[in-house]
C-alpha cells in the first residue's frame, strides 16, 4: 500500500468512527479529492462533514480551531505546507493558547495537515519544510508522517491529545510504499522502540550494535536508509535509524541508552539550518550524554537558500543521502 | 483495444511527469481501476482504466508526457497488444515489479547474502568459494567474516583468482618451452633521472626511468629485429619478424599482474608514453582492462621499483624473445675520472632472452644500445 492510500484510508476510518470529525480544505471535495488525493472519497461518503473552502488559510484554520474548541474535531488540509505560514497567527496565537489560557484546561482537537518538502520540482514556494517554525510553541504538537507508521493510530493519537497538532507529510512519501511486517528491504528490519511513544528503529540485525545513530523524521527516512546501505556495504559502518512520530514535544530519554552505546549521533532533517528541530534534539542529547559521546551531535540540513525548480539544482540544495553518509563518516573519523 | 491517453490536467502545464505505474504491465484491469500516477507542476493525478482488459504500458516510470500522448493500451483480445517498452517491467507479468520509488526490489527466491565491498575485495583476493560464504548463513557478510573463514580454513586448497591463474600458465609455459638466458648491466642513472625530470617538467607529465626505457627499447626495433621477433615452430625453429615495436609494460597495483601493451611505441613521444602508462595504471586500479589493451606485445619491460630490489630475472613471455627488467635506483660511492670520491645513482637493467634466437653478444649490444639511448 502506498503512503497516500494509507493516509486516505486512515481518514476514512477516522470519519467513520467519530461523527464529530470534520475535514476542511481547498479542493478537498470529490471528484478532485485534494491535490494529492489524500481526501479522496471522503466528501462522497460523508457529505456535509467535508468542507471545501476558499483560498484562505488563516480563515480555514480559524474556523477549524473554533469548531474544535466548541466540542467538535477538525482536520485541515493545507494544500502545500508553505502556505501554513498564512495560518501562523491562528495556530500560534489562538489554537495553541486556547487549551490553557481560559483558566481551566480546554480541549481543542485540531489537526493541520501540511504536505511538505521538496524533491518534486515544485520550486521555492511549494517545496519547503517549515517544521522548525512550529517547534517550541506551548500547547502545540508537531508530528511527521513516516512510511513505518500506522496512520490510523497516528490520527487517533493526535485527536486524543486534545491539543492542536501540525502533521507534516513529506510529499515524496505519497507515492512510496508503506513498509510492513517489520521489513524495510532486503537489508533492514524495523520495529517500535519500546517505551518511546512512537519512535521506529531501523537496523540490520541488532539495534544495540550500531557505530552511529541517525535520528531523522519520516520524510528523510528513505534517504537515511540509502545512506545506511552505502555506509554498511562500502565502509562496514553500521547505523541505527530512529524515526520519531512526534517531533515536538520530544523527549530523548527513551533513546538515551541506544545513543550512549553508539557514542555518535547524526540528526538529519530537510529544513535549513538555524533554530531547528534537529538543534533541539542535539541540545537534549548533549545535556544528557555530555562526556559519553565521541563527538558533538552532527546536524544535516538542506543548504541555506530558496529551493530551485530545476531538478538538478534542487538536488544540490536539498538534503541527500550523500550528505548523511558524509556526516556519519566525519563523525567517526 | 483502448488507448490510455494523457488528458489535459490543467492550464499551466504542457507536460507532466509519469510518477508511478499502479498496475503491472500485462495485468488485467477493470474499468475505473487507477492505473498510473501523473504529476503536474502542482499535484499528483491518478488516471483510471477506461475499459476492462489487459494493460500494456508504452511509457516508463519517470517519463515526461504531454496531453494526448498514449502511455498504455488496454487490450480486450481484439488485437495483439504492443509489447512493453518499460525496461524494468516484466513482459510476462509474473516477475517482480520494478521498484518505481528507487528502493530495492523485493528479494528473489535465494539472493544469497549481501556482501560488503571490503568483504568482496577479500573474497576476490583469496578466491573464496561462494558456497562457503553462503554456508555462513548470515544476512550481511563483512570483512571480519571472510577473515575468520580464511583463518579457520578447512584445509581445502583455495583456487587462484583468474588473473593469477593466467600468470601461472604463462610462467609455466615459458619455463617449459623457452631456454632463457640472462644478462644484466649496471647503469649510471643520474644523468637519465635528470633528463627524465627535465622532460617531465617541459611536458607537464610524470616522466621517469620507465618511460625513458620504453622509448629507448622502441627506438631500437630496426637495429635489433631479432629481439622483437616471434619464435615459430620447434623443429625446425623459425622466426617471424615484427613490423613495429609493441612494448608491454608490467602493471601491478595490487589486483594482480597485468602487461598492457604500448602499440607501435616507436611512434610515441616520451610524453605520450607517459600518458598512456598513466592511463593503464588507472585502468589497473579500476580493474578496467580490456583484451585489446593486453594483446599484441612483442617485447616486455618489467618494472621492479620496490626500493630494495637489486636484480630481477623476468620470464620471457611465450611467443616473444626478450624481456627487460628495470630495478630500483641504488646509491653508491664511485671514483670519478680524476680519482675523487663521488656519489652516484645506479640501476640494474636486465635482459632475459630466448637463447635459441639471441646470443649473449647481441644481448649485451642491445643492453648497451638501450643504455646509450637513455643517457645520450
Measured between alpha carbons, how far is B343 from A118 in angstroms, rounded to an integer?
68
What count of CB pairs under 8 Å joins A to B? Answer: 62
* Chain A residues whose C-beta sits inside 8 Å of any chain B C-beta: 2, 4, 35-37, 120-122, 126, 174-177, 185-187, 204-205, 222, 225, 232-236
If you average pLDDT over each of A12-21, B66-75, B266-275, which comes out highest? A12-21
Q: Helices A151-161 and A3-17, interaxial angle, to 10°?
A: 50
For chain A, say whether B194 makes contact (Cβ under 8 Å): no
pLDDT, tens digit, 9 for 90 and up, residues A7-52? 999 999 999 999 999 999 999 999 999 999 999 999 999 999 999 9
Chain B residues closer than 8 Å to A7 by CB: none
Please give the positions of A annotated as active site.
126
Q: Say yes or no for a CB contact (<8 Å) between B41 and A37.
A: no
Model pTM score: 0.60
As a whole number, mean pLDDT of residues B92-116 equals 55
Which is nearest to A293 in space by CA: A322, A330, A324, A332?
A332
Q: Given an 8 Å threshold on Cβ–Cβ distance, is A186 in contact with B117?
A: no
Select the residue from A209, A233, A308 to test the B interface by mutation, using most B Cβ atoms within 10 A: A233
Q: How far is CA B139 from CA A97, A213, B12, B106, B158, in A?
A: 51, 21, 49, 15, 24
Q: What pLDDT digit, counting tens, does each position of A182-218 carry?
A: 999 989 999 999 989 899 999 998 888 899 999 999 9
Nearest to B41 among A122, A176, A235 (CB): A122
CB contact under 8 A, A186 and B20: no
Q: What is the pLDDT of residues A110-146, one digit of tens each?
A: 999 999 999 989 999 999 999 999 999 999 999 999 9
Contacts of A208 (CB under 8 A, 6+ apart): A258, A261
Distance in Å, alpha carbon of A86 to nearest chain B alpha carbon: 19
Beta bridge partners of B342: B334
* Residues 88-107 in B contacting A (C-alpha not used; CB under 8 Å): 100-104, 106-107
What's the pLDDT score for residue B44?
A: 74
Chain A residue with the nearest C-alpha to that of B117: A234
* Identity of the residue in B17, B44, B101 whose CB atom sits nearest the CB atom of A37: B44
- The ipTM assigned to this model is 0.80
Measured CA angle at A145 (ends A141, A149), to 5 deg:
110
Over residues B336-342, the mean pLDDT reads 91
E strand or H helix that includes residue B144: helix B143-152
Q: What is the pLDDT of residue B79?
A: 54
Which of A27, A13, A29 minimizes the C-alpha distance to A159?
Answer: A13
Amino acid at each position: 500500500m502506498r503512503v497516500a492510500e494509507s493516509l486516505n484510508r486512515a481518514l476514512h476510518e477516522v470519519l467513520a468512527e467519530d461523527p464529530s470529525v470534520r475535514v476542511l480544505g481547498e479542493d478537498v471535495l470529490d471528484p478532485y479529492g485534494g491535490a494529492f488525493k489524500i481526501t479522496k472519497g471522503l466528501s462522497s461518503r460523508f457529505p456535509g462533514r467535508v468542507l471545501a473552502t476558499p483560498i484562505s488559510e488563516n480563515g480555514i484554520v480559524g474556523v477549524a480551531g473554533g469548531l474544535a474548541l466548541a466540542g467538535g474535531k477538525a482536520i485541515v488540509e493545507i494544500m502545500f505546507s508553505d502556505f501554513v505560514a498564512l495560518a501562523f497567527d491562528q495556530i500560534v496565537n489562538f489554537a495553541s493558547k486556547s487549551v490553557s489560557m481560559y483558566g481551566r484546561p480546554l480541549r481543542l482537537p485540531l489537526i493541520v495537515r501540511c504536505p511538505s518538502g521538496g524533491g518534486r520540482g515544485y520550486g521555492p514556494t511549494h517545496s519547503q519544510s517549515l517544521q522548525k517554525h512550529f517547534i517550541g510553541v506551548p500547547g502545540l504538537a508537531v508530528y511527521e508522517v513516516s512510511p513505518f507508521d500506522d496512520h490510523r493510530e497516528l490520527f487517533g493519537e493526535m485527536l486524543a491529545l486534545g491539543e492542536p497538532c501540525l502533521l507534516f507529510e513529506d510529499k515524496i512519501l505519497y507515492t512510496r510504499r508503506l513498509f510492513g511486517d517489520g521489513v524495510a528491504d532486503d537489508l533492514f528490519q524495523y520495529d517500535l522502540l519500546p517505551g518511546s511513544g512512537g519512535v521506529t528503529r531501523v537496523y540490520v540485525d541488532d539495534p544495540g550494535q550500531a557505530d552511529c545513530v541517525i535520528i531523522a523524521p519520516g520524510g528523510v527516512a528513505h534517504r537515511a536508509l540509502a545512506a545506511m546501505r552505502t555506509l554498511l556495504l562500502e565502509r562496514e559502518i553500521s547505523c541505527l535509524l530512529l524515526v520519531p512520530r512526534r517531533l515536538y514535544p520530544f523527549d530523548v530519554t527513551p533513546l538515551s541508552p541506544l545513543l550512549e552505546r553508539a557514542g555518535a549521533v547524526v540528526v538529519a532533517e530537510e529544513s535549513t539550518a538555524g533554530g531547528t528541530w534537529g538543534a533541539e534534539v542535539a541540545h537534549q542529547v548533549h545535556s544528557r550524554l555530555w562526556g559519553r559521546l565521541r563527538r558533538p551531535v552532527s546536524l544535516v540540513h538542506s543548504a541555506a537558500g530558496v529551493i530551485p525548480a530545476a531538478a538538478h539544482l534542487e538536488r544540490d540544495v536539498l538534503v541527500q543521502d550523500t550528505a548523511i553518509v558524509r556526516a556519519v563518516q566525519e563523525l567517526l573519523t | 483495444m483502448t488507448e490510455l491517453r494523457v488528458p489535459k490536467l490543467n492550464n499551466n502545464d504542457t507536460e507532466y511527469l509519469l510518477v508511478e505505474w499502479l498496475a503491472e504491465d500485462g495485468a488485467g484491469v477493470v474499468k475505473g481501476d487507477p492505473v498510473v500516477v501523473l504529476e503536474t507542476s502542482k499535484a499528483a493525478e491518478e488516471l483510471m482504466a477506461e475499459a476492462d482488459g489487459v494493460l500494456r504500458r508504452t511509457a516508463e516510470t519517470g517519463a515526461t508526457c504531454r496531453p494526448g500522448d498514449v502511455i498504455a493500451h488496454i487490450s480486450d483480445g481484439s488485437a495483439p497488444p504492443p509489447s512493453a517498452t518499460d525496461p524494468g517491467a516484466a513482459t510476462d507479468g509474473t516477475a517482480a515489479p520494478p521498484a518505481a520509488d528507487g528502493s530495492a526490489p523485493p528479494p528473489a527466491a535465494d539472493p544469497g547474502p549481501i556482501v560488503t565491498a571490503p568483504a568482496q575485495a577479500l573474497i576476490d583476493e583469496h578466491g573464496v568459494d561462494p558456497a562457503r560464504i553462503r554456508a555462513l548463513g548470515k544476512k550481511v557478510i563483512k570483512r571480519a567474516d571472510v577473515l575468520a573463514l580464511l583463518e579457520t580454513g578447512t584445509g581445502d586448497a583455495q583456487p587462484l583468482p583468474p588473473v593469477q591463474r593466467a600468470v601461472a600458465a604463462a610462467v609455466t609455459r615459458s619455463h617449459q618451452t623457452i631456454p632463457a638466458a640472462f644478462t644484466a648491466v649496471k647503469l649510471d642513472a643520474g644523468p637519465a633521472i635528470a633528463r627524465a625530470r627535465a622532460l617531465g617538467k617541459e611536458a607537464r607529465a610524470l616522466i621517469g626511468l620507465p618511460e625513458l626505457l620504453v622509448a629507448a627499447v622502441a627506438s631500437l626495433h630496426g637495429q635489433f629485429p631479432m629481439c622483437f621477433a616471434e619464435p615459430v615452430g620447434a623443429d625446425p625453429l623459425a622466426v617471424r619478424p615484427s613490423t613495429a615495436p609493441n612494448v608491454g609494460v608490467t602493471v601491478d597495483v595490487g589486483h594482480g599482474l597485468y602487461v598492457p601493451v604500448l602499440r607501435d611505441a616507436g611512434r610515441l613521444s616520451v610524453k605520450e608514453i607517459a600518458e598512456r602508462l598513466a592511463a593503464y595504471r588507472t585502468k589497473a586500479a579500476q580493474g578496467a582492462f580490456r583484451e585489446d589493451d593486453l594483446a599484441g606485445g612483442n617485447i616486455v619491460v618489467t618494472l621492479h621499483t620496490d626500493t630494495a630490489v637489486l636484480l630481477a630475472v623476468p620470464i620471457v613471455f611465450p611467443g616473444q624473445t626478450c624481456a627487460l627488467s628495470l630495478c630500483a635506483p641504488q646509491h653508491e660511492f664511485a671514483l670519478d675520472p680524476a680519482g675523487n670520491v663521488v656519489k652516484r645513482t645506479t640501476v640494474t637493467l636486465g635482459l632475459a632472452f630466448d637463447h635459441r634466437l639471441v646470443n649473449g653478444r647481441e644481448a649485451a649490444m642491445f643492453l648497451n644500445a638501450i643504455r646509450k639511448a637513455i643517457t645520450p
